[in-house]
Each structure stands twice: as structure tokens, then as C-alpha cells.
Amino acid sequence: MRANCWTGKRSVEVREVPDPTILNRRDAIVKITSTAICGSDLHLYNGFIPTMREGDVLGHEFMGEVVEIGPGVDGLSVGDRVVVPFPIACGVCGACERGMTALCENSNPNAGIAEKLLGHSPAALFGYSHMLGGYPGGQAEYARVPFADFGALKVESDLSDEKVLFLSDIFPTGYMGADMAEVGPGDVVAVWGAGPVGQFAIASCFLRGAERVIAIDRIDHRLRLAQETGAETLDFEQVSVPEALAEMTGGRGPDKCIDAVGMEAHHANHALHAYDRAKQAAMLETERPHVLREAVMSCANGGIVSVIGVYGGFTDKFPMGSFMNRYLTMRAGQCHVHRYMPTLLDHVRNGDIDPSFVITHRMPLDDAPKGYRTFLEKADDCEKVVLTP
């Protein structure tokens, strides 16, 4: 089959690779009809996530048709149309039983590698390094889906791929950002990052009743899209974000702050940005935590900082004094996609949101290298790339 493979830093290539096969009783093989390039794929593309190997199949946002099932798969049949969550979860371990499927205790065969960096291992992820399982991803014609009877969500044929594809990752991730922040009626929320995950965080805050949402970015087309959703916007290259947020909230700061950027943040202070880039390049820290620092310093006393942008290791100069003395709460994590998929599917089915609003570019799978370059460079007002095998 054809698949998009990681071939080194800033390099991907569509290659012929072996077709996936059933390996375990609860496996299914899915013929992929739509897949996408995620912002967190760019961390792999840029070489910031360790334990990648040349030839690894990328992609963790995908959906398609079940074409084969293992003998232990209940509730799925050949021909079912499914969306596949990006964390691989068994459904029966202690973490899964508590709804924390991104922490599944049974899916990562390389847990020992993750434990060395993270202390304990989270769940395996599709197409996201050998530290997180080494499973081939979904930017391909077919994919093996472990624990398919728990992981794959059946969807109706009357909903287009573009309306349900993002239930695999970015819509639940954005929603979990709002959920972890306990966003509710009357809240003022600041969202750093108006990429696809940030857009879904903004939309999710409004779904949950937020009074105001303030989107922070520097890319014009992203800020325009956030405004179309109802957000107020700040260009961090034009204003001091903490000062602007204080002014917009009567000096209090936002009640809730969501970091939808993560480890490759940019900052208008060129000296500070150069400091973190240099430390990151020298592997003295793995992150550029500008957003994380700014969110903590900007958040209202007693507020919540919710982190859904991906971080990989260690960060420098975290403002712990502000965090501790102002009674802030921080919640962070890879998304427990399985927990949110049914509720968000209902929102889509009811017409509360059309997730396709983030799609700007559609390409065949063979154009995946072009898609990565376009997405990385934000060329042609690129917000989200969908690939069709």
C-alpha cells in the first residue's frame, strides 16, 4: 500500500509499504477514506520528538471502512464506517475504566522508553514515535486498529467525512481544553493559538456557554477565522498580551487560559525567543514555553490554565511563584478522545457545529510532502490539510 513515511527532519515521502494484517484478536483493518495532517505532526516533521525511525508511517487523524476484523472484535462488522481515535486504548485497564484512555496501561509495548523520559508511560498513539508505541499511522491507504471494538466509533453514512473526521483528534482535544478549564456560562477565556486545535477550543468554549473568548495568534487568516467564530483577537506581535488581557478584563485577567500551542511557541520578544530557540537547539530544554509562561502570568487569581498543546520533555523558567501564590490550577494532557466522541458526534449531528470549517486545503495522499510544507509555512492561508488516499 501507499503510505506517508517520515524520512528525517523536514522530510516525508510517500512510499510503498507492506499492507497491515490482523496481529491480535481485537484488531481490525480499516481502509482509509480521509486522513489529515495535524499540528502535532509538525513536531515530528521538525525533529523535536525523539525515537522516530526512518520509514515510520505518520498520521493519527483518520477514518474509513472496516475491511477485516479479528475473532475477538464485537460490535463491529466488515463494511462499517468508523472514525478512529488517535490514542490506542484497551478499554479494560484501570485508566480506561476511569475514562482516561490517553493513559491506557496496555497499549504501549515500548512503555520502558517513555518511562525514562516521562516517569510513567501514557497510552500508545498512532504514528507518533516508538516511545509511544511505534504503531504505523493513518496517512496511508490502510491501517491496523488495535482494540478496534473499543476504539473505532461507527458513524452514519449521511454525515460526510469532513464533518466527522476531526472526532479522531482535534475536535475532542479542543473540547477537552475547555472541559479541563471548567469553562461555563459567564467565563472570559483566553486561547493561545488559533490553529486547528485552538479553533476547536474557541468553538468549544462557546458551546459550553463562555461569555467572551479572546484568541491570541500572529497569523492574519487564523485570527480572521477566530473572529468568524465569535472570538475577540489579539496579535501578539502588535501588543503585550498580558497587558492587553488585563486591560480587556478590568485588570483581573481571563478566568480561564488555554494553551493550544505547545512546545514550538513563538514570542514577539526576539531576545527571549532566541534564548529558548538556542536552548532547544542545544537540547538543554525540549520546549519553547512562551505561551505556558504567559498564560500563567495572565490568568486571573484563582483561575485555571488548561494545556492541550503538545510538550515533549523539559521546560525552563516556569513562573512557579506566580502559579503557587495566586492559587492557580493547571490541567494538561493528551486528549481522552474516547470519552468525548459520542457527545461531540451528537453536536455535529444536531447541527451545533460543522467541524469542516477549519479545512482550507484538500490533497491526494501522494501530495503529502507538499501538504506538510504548506502547513508548516502557513502558505496560501493554510489552516488544515486533509488527504485522500
Interval 48-57: pLDDT, tens = 899 999 999 9
C-beta atoms surrounding 179 within 10 Å: 18
d(CA 315, CA 288): 7
331 pLDDT more than 90: yes
273 pLDDT more than 80: no
Please provide residue 8's backbone torsions phi and psi, each rounded to the nearest 5 degrees.
Answer: 135, 175
Q: Please, how many CA atoms are within 13 Å of residue 319, restricted to the half-sphere of its CB? A: 19
Q: What is the mean pLDDT of residues 183-200?
A: 98
Which of the pair, 284 or 341, is modelled with greater confidence?
A: 341
| Cα-based angle 49, 51, 57 (whole degrees, multiple of 5) | 85
CA terminus-to-terminus distance, the chain: 10
pLDDT at position 344 is 98
237 pLDDT more than 80: yes
Percent of the chain with pLDDT over 90: 90
pTM of the model: 0.95
Q: For CATH 3.40.50.720, list the domain ranges present in the chain.
A: 172-332
Please provide residue 381's backbone torsions phi and psi, each rounded to the nearest 5 degrees.
Answer: 55, 40
Q: 78: exposed, middle or buried (C-beta count within 10 Å: 0-12, 13-18, 19+)?
A: exposed
Please provide residue 125's backbone torsions phi and psi, each rounded to the nearest 5 degrees.
Answer: -125, 150
183 pLDDT more than 90: yes
Name which of 218, 308, 298, 198 is nearest 263 in CA terms.
308
pLDDT band at 267 (very low <50, low <70, confident <90, very high): confident
Q: What is the mean pLDDT of residues 252-273?
A: 87
Q: Per CATH, the architecture of 172-332 is what? A: 3-Layer(aba) Sandwich (3.40)
Q: What is the mean pLDDT of residues 123-152?
A: 97
pLDDT band at 159 (very low <50, low <70, confident <90, very high): very high
pLDDT at position 335 is 98
Q: Does domain 2-169+335-388 have CATH number 3.90.180.10?
A: yes
pLDDT at position 263 is 84
pLDDT band at 265 (very low <50, low <70, confident <90, very high): confident
pLDDT at position 274 is 80
Name which of 168, 140, 167, 133 is nearest 51 in CA terms.
133
pLDDT at position 317 is 87
pLDDT at position 365 is 98
The CA radius of gyration of the chain, in Å to the nearest whole number, is 20
C-beta atoms surrounding 331 within 10 Å: 15
260 pLDDT more than 90: yes
pLDDT band at 148 (very low <50, low <70, confident <90, very high): very high
pLDDT at position 93 is 98
Structural contact between residues 262 and 288, judged by C-beta atoms closer than 8 angstroms:
no
pLDDT at position 352 is 97
Name which of 291, 210, 293, 288 is nearest 256 in CA terms.
210
Q: For CATH 3.90.180.10, list the domain ranges present in the chain.
A: 2-169+335-388
pLDDT at position 372 is 98
pLDDT band at 282 (very low <50, low <70, confident <90, very high): confident
Helix (H) and strand (E) counts in the chain:
14, 18
Q: What's the chain's average pLDDT?
A: 96
Of 81-85, 158-162, 282-286, 365-369, where does mean pLDDT reach its minimum?
282-286
In residues, how long is the chain?
A: 389
What grid cell was written down for 380? 496560501
